[in-house]
Chains A and B, each alone.
Chain A
Amino acid sequence: MGTHALRNPVAIVGMACTEFGEHWDLSVDDLLIEATHGAVDSVPGLDLQQVDAFWLGVMTSGVSGLTLTRPLGLAHKPVTRVENMCATGSEAFRNACYAVSSGAYDVVMAVGGEKLKDAGYSGLEMPSVPNDGTPPVLSAPAMYSMIVPAYARRYGLSEARIKEAMTHIAWKNHANGALNPRAQFRKVMSKETIASAPALAGNLSLFDCSGVADGGAAAVVVRAEDALKYTDRPLYVHALALDAGAGTGRNDSDYDYSDLAESRLSAEAAYAQAGITDPATEISLAEVHDCFTPTELVLMEELGLSERGEAWRDVLDGRYDRLGTLPVNVDGGLKSFGHPIGASGLRMLFEMWLQFRGEAGDRQVPTPGFGLVQNQGGSPGDLVSAVTIVSSRAPVT
C-alpha cells in the first residue's frame, strides 16, 4: 500500500483555455470545441484523431463522454466524463495522466468546461439528489464565511485584521486579472471599494467571492519520455494527489471551520511524490482555489507556504503578490479569472503552462522551482482537494 509518484512520468505538450466570462453567445458545445481544438492546435502536427483517449470534466453542463463527442463529431474513442465538484478539472487531468502513464494510451487529453450562465442565476446551483429536506441549506459564501471567526479564535486575531488580509487578496487577484486577456474581470479594484462593499455572508462581501463564469480549457498529455517529440518546452508533472474527506466536519463538534485538512493532506501527498521538503522555498508560484478570499488565506498555511497563524501577515506583507517572493494566482485566480467549474483546475494548469514556457506576457514571473496547483470542491468540513505539481524539468525516476 502506498501513494507514489508516477512510475512513468507524464508531461503536458499542448494546452488551450478560452476566455472566461458571461458568454451569452457561446454554448457548452462551443466552449468544448474551442478548448479541445485549441489544445490540439497548440501541438504542431497533432490531429484530433491522434488523441487516443479523453477525460471530460463537467459538473452541471452535461453527462457522459457524449457531451464531448457530440459537438466534436468524434466517433469511437474512449471518452470518460468525470466529476468531483469544483475539483472536476483537476480530476479529469489526474485520470488522463494515469492512463497515459500506464501505457494504455500514448496521447490523451483532459478537457474541462462549464456553461453556467444559462442557469439564469448569479450563484452556482449544485446538483442534489432528492432528500428528506433536513440538510442545512447555506449559500456557498455562508459556508466559507465560517472560516473567518474560526480562524480569528484559533489565532487570537480580530476579524477586522483578517478582513484586511482578505481585502488584500481580493485586491491582488483583481490586479492580476487585469493583466489577463482571458479573465472575466479585468479591472483593478481599490482596497477601499473592496472593503466597503455590502456583506453577502458573514464578513464576506461581493469582492470576497469568485465569479461564476462560462469557459473551457484542455491539455494534451503524453509520457514524459515522448514529450520532446511534440514540443521543446513541455510542462512536466511531478505529482498528482487527491484527498476526499469523510465529509463529517459540519456534524463534528471537534471540527474547526478554519481547518481544511483535505487541502493539507493532498499537498503533503503531492510534496512527497515530488520530493519537496520545504514548499515555502521550493515552489516558485502557486495557483490555488481562491473561491473566497478566506479560503486563499487559510490555504497558504494548509499548503505549507506560511507558518501557522502567519498567513495574514504574509499576505499583507505582499509575499504572495505578483511581484512577491511566491506569487499566488498570478492569472487572477477564481476571483477574477472566473470559475467555470469543470474548467477551473485546467485553467490553473494553463497559467503554469504559460509561465513555465515564458509566455505569460505582462504577468510573467520567474519560475526557477516548482509550480503548485491546488483545486478543491465542497466546503470547510466537507471537502475534496486535488494538488498537482509541475515544472519545466523532467522528473527524475
Chain B
Amino acid sequence: MAGIESYAVYVPSGRLVRAAIGETLGTPRGRGARPVASYDEDSTTLAVAAVRRAVVSARDIDGSLWFATSRPAYLEKSNAATVATAGGLPEGCAAYDVGGALRGGAGALRAGLAEGSAVVVASDLRYALPGSVDESEGADASAGFVVGPQAVAELVASVSITRELLERWREPGETRTHTWEDRFGAEEYVPLGQRALDDVLDRCEIKSEDLRKVVISTPHSRTGAALQKKFSAEQGDLGAVADLGYAGAADLGVGLVAAFEAAAPGDLVLAMSVVDGADAFVFRMTERHRPGGSGLETLGTSTAEISYADFLTWRGLLPREPARRPALKPPVPPASLRASGWKFGFVAGRCRECEYRNLPPRRVCLRCNARDSSEPEPMIDVPAYVATLTDDWLSESVQLPAKVAAVDFEGGGRFEFELADAAGRTVNPGDPVVPTFRVAGVADNKVRNYIWKVRPHREGGC
C-alpha cells in the first residue's frame, strides 16, 4: 500500500527570541523563540533543503513533485521546477506548484499519496506586520516526503472537507494578513475539525485512543487548542516541534515528521489540517520504520539568535539605507539554462584524464588541459572544508561582513563561496562545511539569483 517512504524537515538555524519583539514595540513579551529563515533563504530554498534530506535515492523517484507554499518566490514561473532541479530529481519528474493557500500543504500531501509515487514538499516563511500574531507565533520551515510502495508509514484513510470561509486572507505580494474575529473562526472550525476526525476514524474503524500520535495543524490557535483537548497530552506531544510556532503550508508536514519520529512500527498517527475546511490523514507505521536522520536533531542545537532588527530587515520590513554600490547584476536566463546542472544541481565536472573536479564544469580541464573530457560529478555529498576565508565588508551581501571562503572538496576541487548561516560564528580553515541552496540576491528586474553556498556543518545534522 502506498505511503511515506522517507521524510525530513528543514528548520533554519536562526531564532528570533519572542521577547525581543515586545521589548522593541513596547508590547507584552512572548516566551521562547521562533525559527527565522536567513536573508538568503526563501520558500524555494527551504523546500530544496527538505527535499535533499528526504530523498534518499533520486533515481528511484517515479512520480511528481508537489510543492506547496503560501509565499511562492515567483508567480507564473514554476518554483517547483527549481525545487526539483536543485533537489536533484530527474528531468522526468513532473513538478507542480500548489501555491498560495495555507491548505496547499495538505493538498500536496493528498496529491502525492493519491499518485502513489511522488515527492511532496511544503515550505513557508511566516511573517506579517510587526506586532502581529503571525510574526511572533510563526515559524519558517519546510517538510518533505517521498511517497511510494515501500512505506514506513502507510496511509490507512483520509478525509477532506472544503468550506468557503473568509477567516484569514492576504493579497499577493502583501505583508499583512487580515483576519476576522477570533470567535468566528473557532465556532466554524472546531466543528469542522471534529467532523473530519470522526469521519476518518470511522473509515479506519478505530477509536481516538488507538492513535499513538496526533498532529493538529491550523493557523487558528483557538481551534487548535480546542481540538487538542479531544486527545491526551501524550498523544499530542510532538516534542520540540511544538515550541517552533505555526509553519504555514509546511506546518502539517513538520508536525507529521515529529509524530513519525516518535512512533514505533504498528503505531497509528493522525495528522489533521484545519484551514479552509479540514483534511485528516491516518497513517500506520510499518516494520520498515526506523526513526532518525529527519533533521529534527538540529532543533535544540546549532541555533543562532537573530536580532529583531535583522529579522525585520531580512523580511523587507525595515528598509535600510543601502551601501553606495553599483546595482546587482542579475543572472541572464540563457546562461542560467546552459549552466543549469552547476547552478541548480551543484554538479561539477570530473576530468576523465586527470580525475580533477572542475567547479564549475569546463570544456578544458584546469589541471591537465584535456579537452571535452568532463563527466558530470554531483558535489552535494562530497565532504568539503574551508581552505581559507576572509571577511568582506564591501560585499554585495545583505549581511555584512560577508564571510567568503575558498572551499576544498575531498578528492579534489575548489570553489569560493559566501558562507551562509555564519554571522557571528567563528569559522577557521579546516572547518567542515556543507552545501546549501540559497538566494545570492534579487536584482532590479526581480530575477532571483539562486546559487549553492556552503554553511558551517551543524552538529547532529547534515
Q: Can you name the residue of chain A whose Cβ is closest to the Cβ of B387?
A: A253
Contact among B406, B417, B440 for A146, CB-based, below 8 A: B406
Q: Is the CB of A132 within 8 A of B404?
A: no
Expressed in whole angstroms, the Cα–Cα distance for A128 and B359 within the complex equals 20
B331 at the interface (CB under 8 A from A): yes
Expressed in whole angstroms, the Cα–Cα distance for A248 and B413 within the complex equals 11
Q: Is the CB of B395 within 8 A of A142?
A: yes
Q: Is the CB of A121 within 8 A of B324?
A: yes
Q: Is the interface of A mostly helix, strand, loop or mixed?
A: loop
Q: What distance in Å separates the Cβ of A163 from its nearest Cβ neighbour in chain B?
A: 14
Q: Which residues of B contact A122 (CB under 8 A)?
A: 324
Question: In B431-449, which residues have CB < 8 Å from any A CB?
Answer: 440, 449
Q: Which residues of B contact A257 (CB under 8 A)?
A: 388, 406
Q: Which residues of A contact B332 (CB under 8 A)?
A: 130-132
Q: Is the CB of A138 within 8 A of B404?
A: yes
A123 at the interface (CB under 8 A from B): yes
Q: Which residues of B contact A130 (CB under 8 A)?
A: 329, 331-332, 335
Question: In B410-435, which residues have CB < 8 Å from any A CB?
Answer: 412-418, 429
| Chain A contact patch, size range | 20 to 34
Q: What distance in Å separates the Cβ of A142 from its nearest Cβ neighbour in chain B?
A: 4
A200 at the interface (CB under 8 A from B): yes
Q: What distance in Å separates the Cβ of A67 from its nearest Cβ neighbour in chain B?
A: 21
A149 at the interface (CB under 8 A from B): yes
Q: Is the CB of B335 within 8 A of A201?
A: no
Interface string of B322-354 (1 = CB under 8 A from A): 001110011110011011001100000000000
Expressed in whole angstroms, the Cα–Cα distance for A51 and B443 within the complex equals 47
A374 at the interface (CB under 8 A from B): no
Contact among B335, B388, B391 for A199, CB-based, below 8 A: B391
B297 at the interface (CB under 8 A from A): no
Interface string of A133-164 (1 = CB under 8 A from B): 11011110110011001100000000000000
> With A120-B324, A146-B406, A200-B393 as given contacts, are A253 and B412 in contact (CB-CB < 8 Å)?
yes
Q: What distance in Å separates the Cβ of A201 from its nearest Cβ neighbour in chain B?
A: 5
> With A251-B366, A255-B414 as given contacts, are A142 and B396 in contact (CB-CB < 8 Å)?
no
| Chain B contact patch, size range | 35 or more
Q: Is the CB of B339 within 8 A of A134?
A: yes
Contact among A119, A120, A142 for B390, CB-based, below 8 A: A142
Q: Is the CB of A201 within 8 A of B388?
A: no
Q: What distance in Å separates the Cβ of A363 from its nearest Cβ neighbour in chain B?
A: 32
Contact among B325, B393, B452 for A121, CB-based, below 8 A: B325
Q: Can you name the residue of chain B whose Cβ is closest to the Cβ of A198?
A: B393
Q: Is the CB of B404 within 8 A of A253?
A: no
Expressed in whole angstroms, the Cα–Cα distance for A200 and B393 within the complex equals 5
Q: Can you name the residue of chain B whose Cβ is closest to the Cβ of A145?
A: B390
Contact among B325, B342, B392 for A134, CB-based, below 8 A: B342
Q: Is the CB of A248 within 8 A of B366?
A: yes
Q: What distance in Å separates the Cβ of A200 from its nearest Cβ neighbour in chain B?
A: 5
A246 at the interface (CB under 8 A from B): yes
Expressed in whole angstroms, the Cα–Cα distance for A122 and B325 within the complex equals 8
A232 at the interface (CB under 8 A from B): no
A225 at the interface (CB under 8 A from B): no
B283 at the interface (CB under 8 A from A): no
Question: In A233-261, which residues have CB < 8 Å from any B CB?
Answer: 246, 248, 250-253, 255, 257
Q: Is the CB of A136 within 8 A of B394?
A: no
Q: Is the CB of B395 within 8 A of A137?
A: yes
Q: What distance in Å separates the Cβ of A364 from its nearest Cβ neighbour in chain B?
A: 37
Q: What distance in Å separates the Cβ of A254 from its nearest Cβ neighbour in chain B?
A: 8
Q: Which residues of B contact A252 (CB under 8 A)?
A: 366-367, 414
Q: Which residues of A contact B452 (CB under 8 A)?
A: 134
Q: What distance in Å separates the Cβ of A320 from its nearest Cβ neighbour in chain B?
A: 26
Expressed in whole angstroms, the Cα–Cα distance for A138 and B406 within the complex equals 11
Q: What distance in Å separates the Cβ of A116 from its nearest Cβ neighbour in chain B?
A: 12
Q: Which residues of B contact A133 (CB under 8 A)?
A: 330-331, 335-336, 343, 440, 449-451
Q: Is the CB of A142 within 8 A of B404?
A: yes
Q: Is the CB of A201 within 8 A of B390?
A: yes
Expressed in whole angstroms, the Cα–Cα distance for A295 and B95 within the complex equals 50
Q: Is the CB of B451 within 8 A of A134?
A: yes
Q: Which residues of B contact A181 (CB under 8 A)?
A: none
B293 at the interface (CB under 8 A from A): no
Q: What distance in Å separates the Cβ of A133 from its nearest Cβ neighbour in chain B?
A: 3
A44 at the interface (CB under 8 A from B): no
A317 at the interface (CB under 8 A from B): no
Q: Is the CB of A136 within 8 A of B390?
A: no
A125 at the interface (CB under 8 A from B): yes
Q: Which residues of B contact A120 (CB under 8 A)?
A: 324
Q: Is the CB of A250 within 8 A of B416?
A: yes
Q: Which residues of A contact B387 (CB under 8 A)?
A: 253
> With A201-B390, A201-B394, A252-B414 as given contacts, are A121 and B330 in contact (CB-CB < 8 Å)?
no
Could you write out 27 A-B pairs with CB less than 8 Å apart?
Answer: A128-B329, A130-B329, A133-B440, A133-B449, A134-B360, A134-B452, A136-B416, A137-B396, A139-B392, A139-B394, A145-B390, A200-B393, A201-B390, A201-B391, A201-B393, A201-B394, A201-B401, A202-B391, A246-B366, A250-B416, A251-B413, A251-B415, A252-B367, A253-B387, A253-B412, A253-B414, A257-B406
> Nearest 3 A-B pairs (CB), nearest first?
A133-B331, A139-B394, A142-B392
6 more CB-based (< 8 A) A-B contacts, given A132-B343, A133-B449, A200-B393:
A134-B452, A138-B392, A138-B416, A149-B390, A251-B413, A251-B415
- Residues on A lying within 8 angstroms of B by beta carbon are 119-123, 125, 128, 130-134, 136-139, 141-142, 145-146, 149-150, 199-202, 246, 248, 250-253, 255, 257
